[in-house]
Structure 1
Amino acid sequence: MNPSNPSEPQEADQPQSSMSSRWIQFGLIVLLFFLLVGPLTPEVNEPHYLSKARHYWNPAWCPNDHFLNSGDAHGVFYWSFGWITTWVSFPVAAWIGRLICWGAIAYSWQRMIAKIDPRPWVGFWAIVAGAVGVIYLHMAGEWLIGGVEAKCFAYAFAFWGLGDVLSDRWNRAWIMLGIASAFHVLVGGWMVVCLMFCWLVCPKQRPSLISILPGLFVGGAIALIGVVPLLLLNRGTSPVESSWASYYYVYERLAHHLVVHTFAWEFKVRFFLAAIAWAATAWLLRNDDKLRILNGVVAGSVVLVFIGIAIDQVFFNVVQDWLTATKLLRLYWYRIADVLVPLALAINVVVLFGKYRQTTPRTAGAVMVGLTLLVLVGMFSRIEERWTATASPADLSSLVTNPQDWADTCYWIRDNTPPDAVFLTPRLQSSFKWYAQRAEVVTTKDVPQDDLNLLQWRERRGDTHWRSFHNRETLSLAGLTEDDLRELSQKYGIRFVVVDRDLARKDGISISWSFPRVYPASADQNSSYEVYEIPDEEN
């Protein structure tokens, strides 16, 4: 056990960078995040999170939207940040949230790295390489720097907690991870598990169990603020309903995050190469007390990856019990390692360069030059991609046919339709509520987190988008008949239908409804999208 008393942390007596230098680095880190994300809104998940946050504070906004009325899985985030969305527009709220998150992550990161290596600029170079590494080395689609959502705040508190551990403040670390868990149960919860693993495998650094019980108790109590509402989401749900909801969640909606045998092989190869490189650098630094703690936490995240793979393979190939597997795979086993492995690899490499540049300057210099070039290529490739994009990440990722026409159509809807109207919208979009600020019957992106609403979400998708495909083999809503729309109007209260005309043309489908087209108003006006109104007498 470490001879220092955990209640009286012993800070390293090493030279610290000046205050001005630290603030310069802080500003550069935030600037780096800005460059990597780019100037456009919304990010992929921002319409999902910020529309839910606004509805949390103002239920009269889009009152008839099924997703917005479903269970709130991230109540702490909605409560602490969502009120901003009622005062300003979504883009402004997104930028306020981004700057808060990026600043919090940058500050907690600098604080954590200073405990490992207090030399000036170590934290900056490590986050440059680490942030680029997360972008290009992840396996399951996890990210650290992007739009504003609950997990961004959770990672900021997690890094702060790791900094406390490195300062021998274990009790405060558990409290910080408790706050992280309150914001995002899986990010904070898995970080707690990884730190517990570190406590088990690092006997030299760990304090006694009795000494950390206060922090575990307080942190656990804080975490319950996020955990209890999540557990209560599914009260009244039968085991069968819960099992099928998990099946649809895991295998139909989020397999790209949760089911490892469906991941692209190149994603798996690059992650495991990164993990091997991290393990090699961790071994070289095994005698560094501080890095042993950090790498112990990362080792815990890698163990979670292997557990997830084992669950996937055993239940898929041996037991062949998919319903049981989905209950377990829903826990995002790969999430933490996707972030921590590239970050820890970057930290280890920067520290190793500092150690070896005196003894083997040529070898260390050559390796560092090569790695620096790789990082710079990745960084500038990402920056070029984001700053030359003609549409927001949300619209590009959801394959909107014509992003500008889509936004214009949504703005017309916002300005010319009743605020409580319900729309049937194209399947391949995720930003309707962001631009149009109107309720939708269903959208693929906005999957509810409570099981009963998730089952209803799947039924709604079948009634609308998949019925259109089955009717005429098109993903455009033009595949629906007038009788279909009358039935859906009665069932879901639909008043307007937004049709992707370009997609219908591509599939050779003509729109022959007798319902009035309200947008574009003129036959001469060209738009990739058309809006039809189902008259009141048809409702």
Structure 2
Amino acid sequence: MNPPTPSEPQEAEQPQTTTSPRWIELGLIVLLFFLLVGPLTPEVNEPHYLSKARHYWNPAWCPNDHFLNSGDAHGVFYWSFGWITTLVSFPVAAWIGRLICWGAIAFSWQRMIAKIDPRPWIGFYSIAAGATGIIYLHMAGEWLIGGVEAKCFAYAFAFWGLGDALSDRWNRAWILHGIASAFHVLVGGWMVVCLMFCWLVCPKQRPRLISILPGLLVGGAISLIGVMPLLLLNGDASPVESSWASYYYVYERLAHHLVVHTFAWEFKIRFFLAAIAWGITAWLLRDNDKLRILNGVVAGSVVLMLIGIIIDQTFFVVLQDWLTGSKLLRLYWYRIADVMVPLALAMNAVELCDRYRQNAPRRTGAVVAGLTLLVLAGMFFRIGDRWTAAASPADLSSLVTNPKDWEKTCYWIRDNTPEDAVFLTPRLQSTFKWYAQRAEVVTTKDVPQDDLNLLQWRERRGDTHWRSFHNRETLSLAGLTQEDLRELSRKYAVRFVVVDRDLARKDGISANWTFPRVYPANADQDSSYEVYEITDEEN
């Protein structure tokens, strides 16, 4: 039989054994993800995504919540996964989603890496080092392995598509990237841009444009399932409203992801060192045709990152036009590089160590030992941190002052208040709907994706938390006056107020209202949180 031509799709050779170690490797990758994430729910973004997903399928759940009634930016995720949240509790739904996502990412990553290096365990070694690298080398707070949300599915399809590109199945690669874009427009869309950049800069691996047009057209059509609803979200907003909404979104709410000049210097330094190391390893492996495709995609992500930095500096420093700049910075220019640079660096390191092992065994062995210890140290630190945590990542990240009391208070609310009640909740929390399953006026975490609701979200924050700070210089809602609460009750149908008593005590104040305190009912009972009911005005 004649050997296949380079233009024909190549499948990685599979080990000829009775029990393929690839299934064991797949299981170990999923186990690694479980260890890195830990046993607790919810993760940082899970209350945001899963509460929206449940409301998507059951609008009668928390019917008066402003965020839940805002535009749906991830309709494919809500449609395909959200129904599970109506059948089981949030924690169970989170674990079902996590296992699906982790399994999909593990499978697609392992399949992609097998096209580059078919030896067993290479996928495990590279993802172990790469996932650890993402945790400690990211610049803009991006992550790959965590809770369930839309982008996890998008990355799984993107890696699957890269595997097809490595097998010279470019049409199928574009289609899979189109599916990724349908799940998450920015992750999938930017991966399409990065793969197109790879197609441009890798002439040896590049098929003719005419040959990949079918895949581009089909993938583009599939991506419209996610793109079109997002484009239609802001049809009712004026240009001025859209500009201000982008400004608040970028500079007030998500600057830690989107505005590079606000990033911590240590984050920027460590990422740029990682990017330089990736660039060196990619150059040393430039004769590896398969790795050239992967590194070409990563090069595209680095170009996107540089474009984001140029936009940031141009509109912030040179033109000082923040409104225009915020519209462009809203596109998460650093997202793909945050993930792909550490992953590619890990894979390049594995291949370089294998290449130089025979010519310089001692030096290579020392490098392997050093890198292994570094990765293991990072993994153990992360695993130890997650498995000894006293509260869920969502509660820890949102700075809930007493997570145990917070859960207890929310569960009391769930069991003892009307299902359609609207609550005014502490600013520094993101899990009220997860535990209490009640609507709230506003929460910092749950920023709407459509411009008009985003502007209303900012107004609600001003009416509540910022007013409390203005009145008595406290972030506790105890800073609101009784008349403030009457006004908020009329404007937003608020019936209950949850006060962070620890925060109020720290600021030397207490709730100065005549409204009845319904929790804790016993005056002697100690709790970090109080619940007050806004009753009708006296006649």
- How far the C-alpha of 1:11 sits from its partner, in A, is 3.0
Give the letter for the 1:278 counterpart.
Answer: W
Matched with 2:347 is 347
Please tell me whether the aligned partners of residues 157 and 177 of structure 2 are also in contact (alpha carbons under 8 angstroms).
yes
Counting only pairs closer than 5 Å after superposition, residues 44-443 of structure 1 correspond to structure 2 as 44-443=44-443
Query: For 1:75-118, what per-residue CA distance to the aligned partner results, in whole angstroms no more than 9, with x for missing partners?
Result: 00000000000000000000000000000000001100000000
Q: How far apart are the structure 1 equivalents of 2:209 and 2:6?
A: 13
Please tell me whether the aligned partners of residues 312 and 325 of structure 1 are also in contact (alpha carbons under 8 angstroms).
yes
- How far the C-alpha of 1:517 sits from its partner, in A, is 0.1
Q: Secondary structure at the match of 1:399?
A: coil
Residues 16 and 183 (structure 1), Cα distance of their counterparts in 2 relative to 1, 3 Å cut? farther
Matched with 1:448 is 448
Query: For 1:1-44, what per-residue CA distance to the aligned partner results, in whole angstroms no more than 9, with x for missing partners?
Result: xx9575x4133557577753111101100000000000000000
Residues 372 and 535 (structure 1), Cα distance of their counterparts in 2 relative to 1, 3 Å cut? same
Q: How far apart are the structure 1 equivalents of 2:13 and 2:451?
A: 53
- How far the C-alpha of 1:536 sits from its partner, in A, is 3.9
Q: How far apart are the structure 2 equivalents of 1:434 and 1:458?
A: 22
Residues 5 and 223 (structure 1), Cα distance of their counterparts in 2 relative to 1, 3 Å cut? farther
Q: How far apart are the structure 2 equivalents of 1:362 and 1:14?
A: 30
Q: Secondary structure at the match of 2:62?
A: coil
Query: For 1:329-387, what per-residue CA distance to the aligned partner results, in whole angstroms no more than 9, with x for missing partners?
Result: 00000000000000000000011111111111111111111111110110000000000
Q: Secondary structure at the match of 2:20?
A: helix
Residues 17 and 55 (structure 1), Cα distance of their counterparts in 2 relative to 1, 3 Å cut? farther
- How far the C-alpha of 1:152 sits from its partner, in A, is 0.2
Q: How far apart are the structure 2 equivalents of 1:84 and 1:14?
A: 36
Q: How far apart are the structure 2 equivalents of 1:276 and 1:15?
A: 35
Please tell me whether the aligned partners of residues 13 and 118 of structure 2 are also in contact (alpha carbons under 8 angstroms).
no
Give the letter for the 1:446 counterpart.
Answer: D
Give the letter for the 2:500 counterpart.
Answer: D
Give the letter for the 1:386 counterpart.
Answer: R
Q: How far apart are the structure 1 equivalents of 2:288 and 2:21?
A: 26
Query: For 1:178-206, what per-residue CA distance to the aligned partner results, in whole angstroms no more than 9, with x for missing partners?
Result: 00000000000000000000000000001
Structure 1: unaligned runs, 5 residues or longer: none
Q: How far apart are the structure 1 equivalents of 2:102 and 2:17?
A: 21
Q: How far apart are the structure 2 equivalents of 1:341 and 1:332?
A: 16
Q: How far apart are the structure 1 equivalents of 2:489 and 2:436?
A: 20
Residues 12 and 62 (structure 1), Cα distance of their counterparts in 2 relative to 1, 3 Å cut? closer
Q: How far apart are the structure 1 equivalents of 2:53 and 2:462?
A: 27
Question: Cα RMSD over matched residues?
Answer: 1.3
Residues 506 and 287 (structure 1), Cα distance of their counterparts in 2 relative to 1, 3 Å cut? same
Q: How far apart are the structure 1 equivalents of 2:513 and 2:5?
A: 77
Q: How far apart are the structure 1 equivalents of 2:410 and 2:15?
A: 56
Q: How far apart are the structure 1 equivalents of 2:16 and 2:308?
A: 41
- TM-score of the two chains, using structure 2 as the length reference: 0.98
Q: How far apart are the structure 2 equivalents of 1:444 and 1:161?
A: 36
Structure 2: unaligned runs, 5 residues or longer: none
Q: How far apart are the structure 2 equivalents of 1:46 and 1:206?
A: 39
Q: Secondary structure at the match of 1:400?
A: coil
Please tell me whether the aligned partners of residues 12 and 114 of structure 2 are also in contact (alpha carbons under 8 angstroms).
no
Q: Secondary structure at the match of 1:249?
A: helix
Query: For 1:515-534, what per-residue CA distance to the aligned partner results, in whole angstroms no more than 9, with x for missing partners?
Result: 00000000111100000000
- How far the C-alpha of 1:511 sits from its partner, in A, is 1.5
Q: How far apart are the structure 1 equivalents of 2:6 and 2:231?
A: 37
Kindly indicate whether residue 472 of structure 2 is the aligned counterpart of residue 472 of structure 1.
Answer: yes
Q: How far apart are the structure 1 equivalents of 2:168 and 2:23?
A: 25
Give the letter for the 1:367 counterpart.
Answer: V
Q: Secondary structure at the match of 1:63?
A: coil
Q: How far apart are the structure 2 equivalents of 1:19 and 1:267?
A: 43
Q: How far apart are the structure 2 equivalents of 1:207 and 1:18?
A: 37
Please tell me whether the aligned partners of residues 486 and 538 of structure 1 are also in contact (alpha carbons under 8 angstroms).
no
Give the letter for the 1:252 counterpart.
Answer: E
Please tell me whether the aligned partners of residues 426 and 500 of structure 2 are also in contact (alpha carbons under 8 angstroms).
yes
Q: How far apart are the structure 1 equivalents of 2:528 and 2:538?
A: 26
Give the letter for the 1:274 counterpart.
Answer: A
Q: How far apart are the structure 2 equivalents of 1:126 and 1:335?
A: 20
Counting only pairs closer than 5 Å after superposition, residues 452-463 of structure 1 correspond to structure 2 as 452-463=452-463
Q: Secondary structure at the match of 2:221?
A: helix
Q: How far apart are the structure 2 equivalents of 1:103 and 1:354?
A: 27
Q: Secondary structure at the match of 2:370?
A: helix
Give the letter for the 1:287 counterpart.
Answer: D
Matched with 2:507 is 507
Residues 456 and 17 (structure 1), Cα distance of their counterparts in 2 relative to 1, 3 Å cut? farther
Q: How far apart are the structure 1 equivalents of 2:104 and 2:17?
A: 19
Please tell me whether the aligned partners of residues 258 and 329 of structure 1 are also in contact (alpha carbons under 8 angstroms).
yes
Q: How far apart are the structure 2 equivalents of 1:298 and 1:490?
A: 53
Q: How far apart are the structure 1 equivalents of 2:18 and 2:133?
A: 28
Query: For 1:282-313, what per-residue CA distance to the aligned partner results, in whole angstroms no more than 9, with x for missing partners?
Result: 00100000000000000000000100000000
Q: Secondary structure at the match of 1:313?
A: helix
Is the deviation greater in 312-321 or in 16-25? 16-25
Q: How far apart are the structure 1 equivalents of 2:19 and 2:171?
A: 27
Please tell me whether the aligned partners of residues 17 and 119 of structure 1 are also in contact (alpha carbons under 8 angstroms).
no
Q: How far apart are the structure 1 equivalents of 2:249 and 2:6?
A: 46
Query: For 1:471-507, what per-residue CA distance to the aligned partner results, in whole angstroms no more than 9, with x for missing partners?
Result: 0000000000000000000000000000000000000
Aligned length: 536
Q: How far apart are the structure 2 equivalents of 1:505 and 1:10?
A: 67
Q: How far apart are the structure 2 equivalents of 1:51 and 1:453?
A: 17
Residues 5 and 120 (structure 1), Cα distance of their counterparts in 2 relative to 1, 3 Å cut? closer
Q: How far apart are the structure 2 equivalents of 1:41 and 1:209?
A: 46
Residues 23 and 515 (structure 1), Cα distance of their counterparts in 2 relative to 1, 3 Å cut? same
Please tell me whether the aligned partners of residues 16 and 120 of structure 1 are also in contact (alpha carbons under 8 angstroms).
no
Q: How far apart are the structure 2 equivalents of 1:17 and 1:271?
A: 41
Is the deviation greater in 294-303 or in 363-372? 363-372
Give the letter for the 2:312 counterpart.
Answer: D
